[in-house]
Structure 1
Amino acid sequence: MFQVLSNAWALLLGMMLLMVGNGLQGSLLGVRGELEGFSTFQMSVIMAAYFVGFLGGSRMAPEMIRRVGHVRVFAALGSFISAVLILFPALTDPWLWTIGRVIIGFCYSGVYVVAESWLNNAATNETRGQALSLYMITMMIGIVLAQGLLLVADPSGFILFVIPSVLVSISFAPILLSINPTPAFDTTAPMSLRELVNVSPLGAVGMFLLGGVYAAQYGMAAVYGAKIGLSIAQLSMFIASFYVGATFLQYPLGWLSDRMDRRLLILLVSAAGGIGGLAGLFLGGYFPLLIASAVLIGGTANPLYSLLIAYTNDFLEPKDMAAASSGLVFINGVGAIAGPLITGWVMTTVGAQGYFLLIALLLIALAGYAAYRMTQRPSPIHDDNMQYAPVSPSASPLAVEIAQEFAIETQEEDDASANTA
């Protein structure tokens, strides 16, 4: 662990600052949009726009890196992020914000690809798992810290937009001054939708549903909090609770996934998340229970991302895993684009509590489909299952590929040790 920190501290520090900026702008726009009188539908379009840009950036960033190099791509995209953050309070128009969010999503996706390729290059086979874990923890800490910054100034002013812009600009320094550019790399083309559905219907359907849940959690939580009249302090605690739950439950659920039928675990975790959604729907007027429901939803929805990838891997040869995971990430991205739009429509139709209603329905639907798939074919042989590798839904497809490499290497080492014994 100390070796990883000594080699990658600058990258991790820079990424944490970037995540603070990203986490703050998402929450801040939800609050500021309410103050500006934007409708719920307009805010849902604005929030969905981030995922449109993110999906496009994950496709185009590798080619940009191959053409001009890691440093130039990182610096250029980071500069665009900083500029757009400053423009948000000056251009308070919902359609201009939508364009800005597309640009932000595109740039953050590209920045993640660059950072994750540097991280992978700096890690060895022995330290890759630790490096990936530290990276994911750093991302979560950054988002949680961002929510506290909502308290330092009035969201109707400029200061809260200046802070993330400055943090993003500062984040370049430790990274660009301490890391050498790495060689160009090739990413894996995604497996076709038909092939993915044939290999793992639960993985494909689950990723689409989960994309809607994660996008609602990430994009619309601030809109919901503003609609029900939470104070800024309560809103920051509410949003942070999703990521606190994700941080603490990711590894225990990963440990369980390597020791039981993953479909059963997916069913149980989805059902628990659905219960959290129903608790928020019916009991969210009591703030402590609202926080508890957010912790439960975040703690179940985020690990489900890794669980679904691991379950799909159980039916694949190692050579096909990267292509399948890229396809799953794409499906998740499509679901993430649809998530805020559908959430906004439901909230407009039934009121602010439609936020929790949709999350509950999506997670219960995932649990129900997992139960159905358990009746269609037997579980893979447990000893042959690929190991669980934790990865965040907010990471790029490259991080998923790195996690896949780590899982395959670990599995091969375990198999070799078993054969030797």
Structure 2
Amino acid sequence: MPDAPDHQPQPQSGAGPSGPAAPGLAPLLSRLVPLLVAAALLLGANGLAMTVIAVRGRLNGLSDTAIGLFGSAYYAGFILGVLLTPLLIRRVGHIRVFSALAALNAIAILSLVVTPAGLSWAASRLVSGIAFCGTAMVLESWLNALSSNAERGRILSIYRIVDLGAITGGQFLLPAFGGGGPEILVMTGLLFCAALIPVSLAREGNPPVSDVTRINYFSIWRISPVAAVGCLTIGLTNGAFRTVGPVYAQGIGMDADGLALLISLWVLAGAIFQFPLGWASDRTDRRHVLMLATAGAGLSCLFLSGVTTPGVIFAGAFLFGGFALPLYSLSAAHANDHARPGQYVELAAGLTMFFALGAMCGPLLASAVMDRFGPSAFFIYTAVLHLAFVAFVGVRLVSREGVPANRRGRFVWLLRTSPVIFRLAGASRADRGRNAARNDRPAGEKD
């Protein structure tokens, strides 16, 4: 059972460790600006790298399956990053770990300029997965340590805006520099290197080193089978789209501008749809909202599998992202409704690992399907998985009653950057009181 970073027990919307008190948001932001700038550079570079690797793989004549292997290698590295980063932090501290891993990510990307397309690229993506997960864990640990419980929710909101802006903006560097020459890889490497500067010059010292905890995956399953299967399914589908979606776009003749717009619309729609879906899930059985959103994602995929007009594809991708991207946050919120306070640490890390396991398999499976049946088969693959999850949630609905309204927590939009992101999801006093009341629930209750 792997180790994952520990933190104070809390739900997805629960209480975390208190950071230093600050008189207002403005003084806190002045301390966080270097970290947020580093996060923007890091997230933008990583999002761009995911797209560029797929584009260059196809330009180098690699098969769809080979390109899918790159995506699977990246998420395998992500899993290793979850396991290794806490050990590195305890050994040399946050600043040195961030600096080393950001530099390592730049090296991995720049190595693609001088190495032939093939297995060496898979090794590069494995290293990038380790490095990105590690740097994200460092930044998120730092942000959490610098913010009190009262500020943590606002900091999470700012971090989400940084993530959204960096990823969508970074995509448009691809049409600006082109995907075939070394320039786009050099630019990506420069962004990773630039992330070193604000962290190295920040006046903040290393935050406290957290302990580690053991993940019992059977325990995660007992807490919430729906959340476990949901995160696995999201990895198999969203993880596949993020890493081999560009292969689909190139396969139907989309240019670099169209590809950048496609990915950006997908990400932007996910941010927009979080709000109505989250609002609805706070007011009814979350499984109904999960079924609605998953069915919407599946039907959007079926629609995309049969269209070829660019404008229609963009509309379909917008709907797909809108319904599919909130599923991780909805699954996490549902799991936390069933968890006890002492289980939140393990649950946070466990759900991230379920997602990463799915994302490790998804790109390879999806690309193999495209190799065999053509680009449009990608969305048949994702539709089948989404609709299968709808059926699974339907079975759970008839086998167990929903969580009463007074036990449901507040929906929080979460990123999938690292398990530490759960620590930024602060709780209100009402949430903490509600969670304390769960201690009397019978052991082993499931959704």
| Superposition TM-score tier, normalisation by shorter sequence | over 0.9
Among residues 124, 139, 147, which one is paired with 1:100 in the alignment? 124
Match of 1:12 among 33, 36, 48: 36
Q: 1:217 touches 1:242 (CA, 8 Å); kept in 2?
A: no
Q: Which residue number corresponds to residue 200 of structure 1? A: 224
Q: Distance in 2 between matches of 1:31 and 1:73?
A: 30
CA shift for structure 1 position 368: 1.6
Q: Distance in 2 between matches of 1:347 and 1:409?
A: 50
- Deviates further, 90-99 or 244-253: 244-253
Cα contact 1:302–1:392 (8 A) shared by 2: no
State yes or no: 1:67 paired with 2:87. Answer: no
Which of 114, 125, 140 aligns to 2:164? It is: 140
The one-letter code of the counterpart of 1:17 is: L
Structure 1 stretch displaced more, 317-326 or 258-267: 317-326
Please report the TM-score for the alignment, with normalisation by the length of structure 1.
0.94
State the 1:389 CA deviation.
2.0
Q: Is the 8 A contact 1:137 1:247 kept in 2?
A: no
Query: Hey, which of these two has a bigger chunk of helix by percent?
Result: 1
The answer to whether structure 1 residue 181 and structure 2 residue 206 are counterparts is: yes
Cα drift, residue 409 of structure 1:
5.5
Q: Does 1:306 align with 2:329?
A: yes
Distance 1:123 1:193 in 2: 30
Q: How does 1:174-323 map to 2 (within 5 A)?
A: 174-178=198-202, 179-190=204-215, 192-283=216-307, 285-323=308-346
Give identity over the alignment, percent: 30
TM-fit CA distance, 1:2: 4.1
Matched, 1:88 2:108: no
1:33 deviation in Å?
0.8
SS at match of 1:188: strand
Residue 142 of structure 1: how far off its partner (Å): 1.0
- For residue 303 of structure 1, report the CA deviation from its aligned partner: 1.2
* Alignment partner of 1:160 is 2:184: yes
Task: Give the alignment partner of residue 366 of structure 1, picking from 378, 385, 389.
Answer: 389
Is 1:397 aligned to residue 419 of structure 2?
yes
SS of the equivalent of 2:339 reads coil
Deviations 1:254-274 (A, max 9, x none): 222211110000000101111
1:18 Cα offset (Å): 0.9
Q: 2-side partners of 1:245 and 1:9: how far apart?
A: 27
Question: Partners in 1 of 2:231 and 2:399 — Cα distance?
Answer: 19
Note if contact 1:53-1:104 (Cα within 8 Å) is conserved in structure 2. Answer: yes
Q: In 1, distance between residues paired with 2:357 and 2:208? A: 30
Confirm or deny: 8 A CA contact 2:341 2:435 kept in the other structure.
no
How far off its partner does 1:386 sit? 2.1
> Which residue of structure 2 lines up, in the alignment, with residue 419 of structure 1?
none
Residues in 2 aligned to 1:298 and 1:116: alpha-carbon distance in whole angstroms: 25
Which structure carries more relative contact order (alpha carbon 8 Å, separation 6+)? 2
**Is the contact made by 2:265 and 2:314 (CA closer than 8 Å) also made in structure 1?**
yes
Distance in 2 separating the partners of 1:309 and 1:259: 16
Structure 1 position 330 matched with structure 2 position 353 = yes
Aligned-partner Cα distance in 1 for 2:427–2:199:
27
Greater alpha carbon shift after TM alignment, 48-57 vs 325-334: 325-334
Over 3 Å counting, the alpha-carbon distance change for 1:183 and 1:325 in structure 2 is: closer
Q: How many pairs are equivalent?
A: 411
The AA in structure 2 aligned to 1:148 is: F
